[in-house]
Chain A
Amino acid sequence: MDTLTKKSVQQLDEVAIRFCGDSGDGMQLVGTQFTNASAIFGNDVSTLPDFPAEIRAPAGSLAGVSGFQINFSSRDIHTPGDRVNAMIAMNPAALRTNIKDVEVGGIVIVNDDAFSKSDLQKAGYESNPLEDGSLSKYRVYRVPITKLNNEALKDLNIGAKAAGRCKNFYALGLVAWLYSRPLEPTIKWIQDKFGKKPEIAEANIRALKAGYYYGETAELFPTSFRIPRAKLAPGRYRKLTGNEAVALGLVTAAELAGKPLFYASYPITPASDILHQLSMYKNFGVKTFQAEDEIAAMASTLGAAFGGAIAATGTSGPGLALKMEAIGLGVMTELPVVIVDVQRGGPSTGLPTKTEQADLLQAVCGRNGECPLCVLAARSPADCFDMAIWAVRIATKYMVPVILLTDGYIGNGAEPWVIPDPEKLPKIEIKHPTSADASSFLPYQRNEHLARPWALPGTPGLAHRIGGIEKEDGAGHISYDPLNHQKMVDLRAKKVAGIVKDIPPLEVNGDPQGDLLVLGWGGTYGALLSAASRARAEGHRVSSAHLQFLNPFPANTGDVLSRFKKVLIPELNGGQLRKLIRAEYLVDAIGLDKVQGKPFLISEVYEKIISLLK
């Protein structure tokens, strides 16, 4: 072995790195590849893609910067990391918009070829930050990535433009060396992706390797790093984003119910990937319908449920608003449908590509009339799988629409997922009445769960009409009778409240009593759990609990709350869960509200916890 090129290797527990560049630079792609390589290597991973709403803002502009952060560790981790330990900036705009998140002393690798005077101007730099001392807090590495990449590919005759496009893989190769990542998964991916264009595949692989060898041979980095495998629970794993998990969960639920899945959706960021994913599963009997608008997506979902399918739709906040009248019809007709809301920054168009949790009240309360339905929330990318199955299970058992809240952060973010054995997943039992029940059949007759029968068109003897006008209890005729209306409103509410008997109790992480409970819901799980655990490790009497069921709340919620002197509810909204908890349990919960389009940092929550303990 050539001892001259063998450098020292330093071991680390956890590293957060961020790739950033122009939206056309392929940063999401290399971020995903780095994640795959790390997951396959055996680290725990958590990712945060962050991209602009514009498809291609002007090259080199601040608005066009796209970033991908990945946290990988030898321990169990729950967030993409508070501070970036190493950043790869492909141009000045990327450097400028991302440098504030890099830890002091952190690694900053820049593409030195992209810092011309005009590049700097586009990013609003008056002087070159690489030379004016403004980056002295960081370990800056200036790598002429464009030149080195082009040099490596010069004899391939693919043209300068195509060669230039490979520079993201060059950067990936360099970082892969720096953190001792295997190249094989990426090489395999390139070969699969560009199978029909072998010269492009060859160029990307060569760029990847050239970047790797550059790190190994250049006298630039004094050391490389090794992040040992994490001790994850035994099993077979794959990496999964929340949106993928929703899609897999819905297909799984339909299979468990032995029914075809119908999924209608109108394209909307950040929920469209669910539609894309499901459209690939036609051989499971899945029918996807790209509707003309959000309302049609919801209305057709109701129609499909009436016809007997496992019916679902997906959207984000503005789309949920448009669907609401039809969701009310679903509550009134008592049809089993699932509505997935991948929340994003609002109100109105808001921040389409950024995350937020501000649709909770819309989901719980946002319809005309007394219109309760079941609301669930997934807490991590992989949890979206379980919660999608829960949603179908509840919808079909209770004949009620179920809203499943996820968000842009967990929808686009990824983590390792233990692949379940489908044989071991409990079946979803569905019973449709048959002609044999005709003599006693009433469309609004209720079973022990207060669910009405799901009688399918085509069944002789069970013909009936449903609709949005108030129905007579049992018979289902139109009824304007005052007492009947009271009864039906009460029954629908009681039915939804009764779901509580099926949902698991709220689990407390830490002692069941103490000075402070950190209560959360949805995608903030990782940050809240980590912050509370850190405070507890320092001797504070702090526990955390995370709600996955928001209507109804788990039966023991009030009991859990009552065992703590203070309750802190951190949310990526203006305090929506806090309002519900206060109203329901008369607990004077304290808020930590953030609406910046970004997830919580562990430190933000931790500092709030500590401030409340003083």
Chain B
Amino acid sequence: MHHDTSLPVLTAKDFTTDQDVRWCPGCGDYSILAQMKKVLPTLGIPKENFVFVSGIGCSSRFPYYVETYGFHGIHGRAPAIATGVKAARPDLSVWVATGDGDGLSIGGNHMIHTMRRNVDLKILLFNNRIYGLTKGQYSPTSELGKLTKSSPMGTVDNPIHPCSLAVGAECTFIARALDADVKHLEYVLQRAAAHKGTAFVEIYQNCNVFNDGAFDYAAVKDHRAEHVLYLEHGKPMIFGKNRDKGIRLNGLEPEVVTLGNGMTEDDLLFHDESASEPVLALMLSRMTHPQFPEPLGIFRAVKRPTFDELLDEQVKNATKRLGRGRLAAMYDDGETWEVS
């Protein structure tokens, strides 16, 4: 790993605060925090140049546990607060920690508009499919019919696919990771950090108190390989313990096929994270267990100018064209007259 020689070499420890971590023991958030602290020192960015912004919820306590600048906001508004930080200070690396309730329910609007603008923010959406901090109500990602404290007869709300929303909002970087697969999570965080523009990372996160085991199909190592599809750019979509299954396109629908008996890798879909059209990313975002293995990795990574960059450019261009503004000239704009 290359470091700017002028910078001290940082370690995960440098990003540990003096605050007691108050998540429940066994919470998936611990893993996300640990991987994040592993990634931050590797980015070649002075640690005081990071800002972590959050909303409300368990995930939103994140900033207190990272030793840099932090802003614990109000429910759902973290992307909007972070947009202000980044617009005012394009030099900072701005991260958002949010959850399925914070980011997709109360704050859904900000999420959409941040992504379509392509503000250079890294958004980590901790998806545990439940409201944890308010003690167990269903969330916008809870599966239909789920029994919770606020849905004793089962929910009647159809859940949202977070990554589909990101596709619809024209997000330039869309990825999914799993708290239990720390290596892969670390990789995804690295990729998000390297992306210029909005990086949306959905992280499957186990709430062991109110929704324990929600992602066991993927998290439990024994059958992970059967239920998860690791996306690799330019590679065929293969999964399974014996890497004997794959995803093929049948008309416009994906289907699971078994390799062999004339079915070869060449018959499978090849992943292309940089496709200019988000059709493939959308399809992947809608593949759900148990019908499909659920994709993990980078769904989409494309280049588009960032909002903060364009905003900055307008200021620079206007200054170049008109010269640095002068108050006296601004006051004199339009008709003036003298009274003596």
Contacts and interface: CB of A to CB of B under 8 A. Distances in A.
B109 A287 contact: no
Given A283-B323, A326-B77, A465-B69, A292 B110 contact: yes
A308 B89 contact: yes
A457 B324 contact: no
Contact of B330 (A251, A302, A303, A463): A251
A459 B84 contact: no
B150 interface: no
A457 B72 contact: no
B74 A304 contact: no
A458 B70 contact: no
A39 B335 contact: yes
Nearest to B81: A303
Interface in A162-186: 185
Contacts of B314: 282
Interface in B272-317: 311, 314-315, 317
Contacts of B340: 234
B42 interface: no
Interface string B107-148: 001101100000000000000000000000000000000000
Contacts of A302: 71, 73, 81, 84
B109 A293 contact: yes
Given A42-B339, A292-B110, A419-B331, A309 B88 contact: yes
A464 B110 contact: no
A478 B60 CA distance: 13
B199 interface: no
A468 B74 CA distance: 7
B101 interface: no
B236 interface: no
A467 B89 CA distance: 19
Given A296-B109, A465-B63, A238 B331 contact: yes
A462 B49 CA distance: 11
A397 interface: no
B74 A311 contact: no
Interface string B323-335: 1111110111011
Nearest to B67: A463
Contact of B335 (A238, A281, A283, A307): A238
Contacts of A141: none
Interface string A310-333: 010000000000000110110001
Nearest to B54: A467
Interface string A279-303: 0011111110101110110011111
**Chain A CB within 10 A, most for which of B46, B315, B323, B327:** B327
B224 interface: no
Interface in B56-76: 63-64, 67-74
A568 interface: no
B85 A304 contact: yes
B46 to A, nearest CB: 7
Nearest to A281: B325
Contact of A296 (B53, B110, B330, B338): B110
B48 A292 contact: no
A262 interface: yes
B242 interface: no
Contacts of A303: 53, 71, 80-88
A285 B312 CA distance: 9
A264 interface: yes
Interface in A375-434: 419-422
B92 interface: yes
A255 interface: yes
A497 interface: no
B335 A40 contact: yes
Contacts of A459: 48
Chain B, interface residues (CB within 8 Å), range: 35 or more
A285 B315 contact: yes
B322 interface: yes
A281 B314 CA distance: 10
Contacts of B17: 465
Nearest to A255: B327
Contacts of A86: none
A264 B82 CA distance: 13
B89 A458 contact: yes
B83 A329 contact: no
**Chain B CB within 10 A, most for which of A233, A283, A287, A295:** A283
B226 to A, nearest CB: 41
B104 interface: no
Given A248-B330, A282-B314, A463-B48, A238 B336 contact: yes
A307 B83 CA distance: 11
B47 interface: yes
**How would you classify the secondary structure of chain A's contact residues: helix, strand, loop or mixed?**
mixed
Contacts of B327: 251-252, 255, 422
Interface string B40-55: 0000001111110100
A287 B315 CA distance: 7
Given A252-B327, A465-B69, A467-B63, A304 B88 contact: yes
Given A292-B113, A478-B64, A419 B80 contact: no
Given A251-B330, A291-B80, A295-B80, A466 B325 contact: no
A135 interface: no
Nearest to B61: A478
Contacts of B317: 282
A229 to B, nearest CB: 8
B4 interface: no
B19 interface: yes
Contacts of A234: 339-340
Contacts of B88: 260, 262, 287, 303-304, 307-309, 311
Contacts of B70: 464-467
Given A236-B338, A283-B324, A307 B84 contact: yes
Contacts of A232: 339
A477 B19 CA distance: 8
Nearest to B50: A457
A342 to B, nearest CB: 21
A464 B109 CA distance: 28
B335 A457 contact: no
Contacts of A546: none
Interface in A21-51: 36, 39-40, 42
A463 B110 contact: no
A350 interface: no
A284 B330 contact: yes
B319 interface: yes
Contacts of B332: 238, 419
B61 to A, nearest CB: 9
Contacts of A326: 74, 77
Contacts of B263: none
A458 to B, nearest CB: 5
A457 B339 contact: no
A237 interface: yes
Contacts of A296: 77, 80, 83, 109-110, 113
Nearest to B46: A460
B318 interface: yes
A239 interface: yes
B222 interface: no
28 contacts: A232-B339, A236-B337, A237-B336, A237-B339, A238-B337, A251-B327, A252-B327, A262-B87, A284-B324, A285-B315, A285-B325, A292-B80, A296-B109, A299-B74, A299-B84, A301-B84, A302-B71, A303-B84, A306-B81, A306-B84, A307-B84, A307-B88, A309-B89, A329-B73, A422-B327, A462-B48, A465-B70, A468-B74
Given A286-B315, A303-B83, A463-B67, 10 more contacts: A42-B337, A238-B336, A251-B330, A283-B319, A309-B88, A461-B48, A462-B48, A463-B47, A466-B72, A468-B74
Which 4 pairs show the lowest CB-CB distances between chains A and B?
A303-B84, A467-B72, A300-B84, A284-B325
Interface of B: 17, 19, 46-51, 53, 63-64, 67-74, 77, 80-89, 91-92, 109-110, 112-113, 311, 314-315, 317-319, 321-328, 330-332, 334-340
